[in-house]
Amino acid sequence: MSLYCGTACRRKFFWCYRLLSTYVTKTRYLFELKEDDDACKKAQQTGAFYLFHNLAPLLQKSEHQYLAPQYSLLELERLLGKFGQDSQILEDSVLIGCSEQQEAWFALDLGLNSSSSINASLQKAEMETALQGSFIKLTKALFELNVKDASLLSTAQALLRWHDTHQFCSRSGQPTKKNVSGSKRVCPSNNIIYYPQVAPVVITLVSDGTRCLLVRQSSFPKGMYSALAGFCDIGESLEETVRREIAEEVGLEVDRLHYSASQHWPFPNSTLMIACHATVKPGQTELQVNLKELEAAAWFSRDEVATVLRRNNLSNQQQSGAVPFWLPPKLAIAHQLIKEWVEKPTCSPLPA
């Protein structure tokens, strides 16, 4: 019996180690590419490129979703040559990930003018014709992409936008220079290093035990309600931000707080969405909506929310008036937060 258990444990450890080692190998390979310019240039030779034009990704329609095509370095060089561009524009590419087989993935914007681009940006219409696709704003296409492409393109857009808006040193005013991977920019005059940053945002689903609080802002699509969200202020902990945002926007005081999950979000300028559940006392649920922040806020029962979650084509039904409200699409962490509340009414609290 002990021999059998020992063999089984060794097999379990072996498979766990294989899974871990694959992840560790991939992670350390990406670290090498970020830190070693020569290694990153070498990876470009066999890597794949995703293309953008003024921060809009190149996409191709396939049935009911968009696909993000990849291009090899050779294909890209041929394309650039066709439009009278040289390969120097490739210096603007950024590393966005790699496969388990260590094929590096890069993103390149052909529409942004940058310090390393000699010629003007390439024309959008000409590129779309040559590439048999369309450059579509990520805000319109994100929810029609598969999970892998959505994650990669979100990362790519965030990095490309950051480099486009951080080309000069805030101390010296001199142009900064990116490394090959795009993981940082350096000011040659004073060696200050700038790293891409994200803004932390809490998104919280408030409940009184039997109902959840959903809100809408004027910028939301018509009829859409979501969870409360707000940026963290400097000096705040996550818990303090949640409590402040709820008090500011709807005039409620949090009784209990639970962490759920997190998600990178490319809008408006690369944020880290930190999802939480918050509970208020049943007798303290009267809303005092801050109309400077919100357009509306209301309590919804579990049955009401569950009904909306079960509907398939919400947008068409909403437009026809068959649905009183609708929720963010499945890819958004707000959707997952609301679904979690419907399916799992109780959550484990954060450690004190």
Are 132 and 211 found together in one domain? no
Question: Got the DSSP string for 94-140?
Answer: EEEEE-TT--EEEEEESS---TT--SPPPPHHHHHHHHTSEE--HHH
Whether 29 is covered by a domain: the verdict is yes
What domain count does the chain have?
Answer: 2
Residue 269 in this model has a pLDDT that exceeds 50 = yes
Residue 308 in this model has a pLDDT that exceeds 80 = yes
Q: What is the CATH number of the domain that holds 224?
A: 3.90.79.10
Buried b (16+ CB within 10 A) or exposed e, 235-251: ebeebebbbbbbeebbe
**β-strands 256-265, 271-279 pairing:** antiparallel
Output 156 or 348, whichever has higher pLDDT: 156
Are 284 and 236 found together in one domain? yes
Are 127 and 45 found together in one domain? yes
The average pLDDT across 9-37 equals 75
Are 114 and 55 found together in one domain? yes
Output 113 or 248, whichever has higher pLDDT: 248
The average pLDDT across 214-221 equals 93
Whole-prediction pTM? 0.84
pLDDT of residue 20: 57
Tokens describing residue 307: 């009904």
Are 97 and 158 found together in one domain? yes
Are 22 and 164 found together in one domain? yes
Residue 255 in this model has a pLDDT that exceeds 70 = yes
Are 22 and 152 found together in one domain? yes
Q: Which residue(s) pair with 106 in the sheet?
A: 49, 95
Are 204 and 275 found together in one domain? yes
Output 73 or 344, whichever has higher pLDDT: 73
Size of the chain, expressed as the number of residues it contains: 352
Tens digit of pLDDT for each residue in 82-107? 888 778 889 999 999 999 999 999 99
Whether 37 is covered by a domain: the verdict is yes
The number of beta carbons lying within 10 Å of the beta carbon of residue 204 is 27
Are 20 and 69 found together in one domain? yes
Q: Closest by alpha carbon to 52, among 121, 99, 145? A: 121
Whether 179 is covered by a domain: the verdict is no
Whether 111 is covered by a domain: the verdict is yes
pLDDT of residue 117: 46
Are 207 and 311 found together in one domain? yes
pLDDT of residue 157: 96
CA 130, 136, 138, 140 torsion-angle sign: negative
DSSP code of residue 235 = T
pLDDT of residue 88: 86
Are 79 and 138 found together in one domain? yes
Whether 186 is covered by a domain: the verdict is no
Tokens describing residue 259: 């962490």
pLDDT of residue 120: 47
Whether 326 is covered by a domain: the verdict is yes
Are 204 and 160 found together in one domain? no
Q: Domain range holding 142? A: 16-168
Q: Give me the chain's average pLDDT, please.
A: 87
pLDDT of residue 113: 66
**What is the crossing angle of helices 73-82 and 37-46, to 10°?**
80
Domain boundary among 168, 191, 225: 168
